[in-house]
Structure 1
Amino acid sequence: MSETNFKFRPNVIVVPLITIILIWIIYYVEIKFGFNFNKYGIYPKSIIGLRGILFSPFIHSNTSHLINNSVPLFVMMGCLYYFYQKIATKILIMGLILTGLLTWVIGRPSYHIGASGIIYLLVSFIFFSGIIRKYYRLIALSLIVVFLYGSMVWYIFPTEERISWEGHLSGFVVGFLFAFLFRKQGPQPEKFIFTKNEEFENQFDEDGNFIEIDVTNTTNENS
């Protein structure tokens, strides 16, 4: 895939924007009508807790939690759909399911909510994918991601009781695995094909030694 294939398409903005708006609407409904959607989060090792795999990314505990997730989620989804257009939706849907499932397996007995698991999925995928593909534009993107969100790596460890580090770790691991598994899909570094110069190559023998041409023995047709 050449550089010119990186083109801006409406879904680069539309998909992240719709996602963020939907999350804010759900939060508004929860606050406005006094609902508590936390019970729809992931509850590990509980059959009913499996529903949280689909619902938990849209549920947030408070406004601060929502704001902190909205900006990086929008940025990372935008990057995903711009640079990995052909596989973006696949990465997002499969990543959501596998991240949630892994959280369900390793998580503490509590409701795990929020879009941070998806954010860690995207940050991890975009970072490692650029490195694995060895494509300079994607490597540059990886470095930008590290600059913006590199400090997030500390939250894949149990640093705070109220933070679902299990969800963060799950997203990080799934993102890394996807970067490897999908390395042959999506943008690839350009391959340069060098044409042979027969006139130049004829000046060397089979061993690579230069063949000297004796100009004194050449005939002049005009003599």
Structure 2
Amino acid sequence: MGMTGPGYPANLPAPQQKRPVWVVGGVTIVSFVVLLYIVELFDSLTGHRLDDNGIRPLETDGLWGILVAPLLHANWQHLVANTGPALVLGFLMTLAGLSRFIYATAIVWILGGLGTWLIGNVGAHCPYVGVQCETNHIGASGLIFGWLTFLLVFGFFTRKVWEIVVGVIVLFVYGGILLGVLPGTLGVSWQGHLCGAVAGVIAAYVLSSPERKARELRRSRTSPPYLTS
């Protein structure tokens, strides 16, 4: 039983140790991927009815798909193909800070989805001549492309060495998939990839604002005064 008073130290709560960033990040991204598998399992058991809720471009009802499309996949093969990049790139994203990861993901999710809703029918292959094609975009690949471009450019906005190094490594390992922003493969949403990639760059610029402002402040303090004559 603790005592306080003259000659006795006050009972202070033991300081709580914060979990390492990599642990929090790992748990976060693994939980997200597990959620994708739970959704796909439910979708498979219900005859893939959820897949109809993807992004349908320029349709009012298709706007709902912006919120849910990254959680939906056409089949298990589609989900498995996205799993590796989602785990690796998502984990690297969390190392920039969990709050930045959440904000960046939200920006890519919404802006990338909105862009897909606007241009998703562009270049769509239609089997019937003279008929306007309607497309339905689903999958986490747009989000993955956003994470990829975020990691590629974030270090150049912040001017932090380790973030630049991460960007270079990501470019070396995953740079080839950036070709996915180009049209060509039937059944693949290059529009979603492109819009996700653009949203990732926007997210990196917006979320690097504290570092950019601090750099400008340091520059203004160290710049010599201008003299006129």
Offset of residue 35 of structure 1: 3.3
Distance 1:20 1:188, change over 3 A: farther
Q: Aligned pair 1:61/2:74, yes or no? A: yes
* Length, aligned pairs only: 185
Offset of residue 187 of structure 1: 10
1:11 to 8, 14, 24: 24
Could you tell me how far apart the structure 2 residues matched to 1:74 and 1:187 are? 29
SS of equivalent to 1:43: coil
Offset of residue 135 of structure 1: 1.3
Residue equivalent to 1:174? 199
- Of all paired residues, the percent bearing the same amino acid is 29
TM-score, normalised to structure 1, is 0.77
Of stretches 17-26 and 75-84 in structure 1, the one that deviates more from structure 2 is: 75-84
Distance 1:177 1:137, change over 3 A: same
The 8 Å contact of residues 53 and 68 in structure 2, kept in 1 or not, is answered as yes
Could you tell me how far apart the structure 2 residues matched to 1:178 and 1:27 are? 28
Residue equivalent to 2:43? 30
The 8 Å contact of residues 100 and 170 in structure 1, kept in 2 or not, is answered as yes
Could you tell me how far apart the structure 1 residues matched to 2:177 and 2:26 are? 24
Q: Aligned pair 1:41/2:59, yes or no? A: no
SS of equivalent to 1:83: coil
Could you tell me how far apart the structure 1 residues matched to 2:25 and 2:113 are? 24
Offset of residue 11 of structure 1: 2.7
The 8 Å contact of residues 87 and 186 in structure 1, kept in 2 or not, is answered as no
Letter in 1 for 2:60: I
Residue equivalent to 1:136? 161
Compute the RMSD of aligned alpha carbons: 2.1
Unaligned runs of 5+ in 1: 1-6, 194-223
Letter in 1 for 2:118: V
Residue equivalent to 2:183? 158
Could you tell me how far apart the structure 2 residues matched to 1:188 and 1:135 are? 14
Could you tell me how far apart the structure 1 residues matched to 2:46 and 2:65 are? 21
The 8 Å contact of residues 135 and 189 in structure 1, kept in 2 or not, is answered as no
Distance 1:187 1:172, change over 3 A: same
List per-residue Cα deviations over 1:45-75 (Å, max 9, x = no partner): 0010011111111111111110111111111
Q: Which has the larger radius of gyration?
A: 1
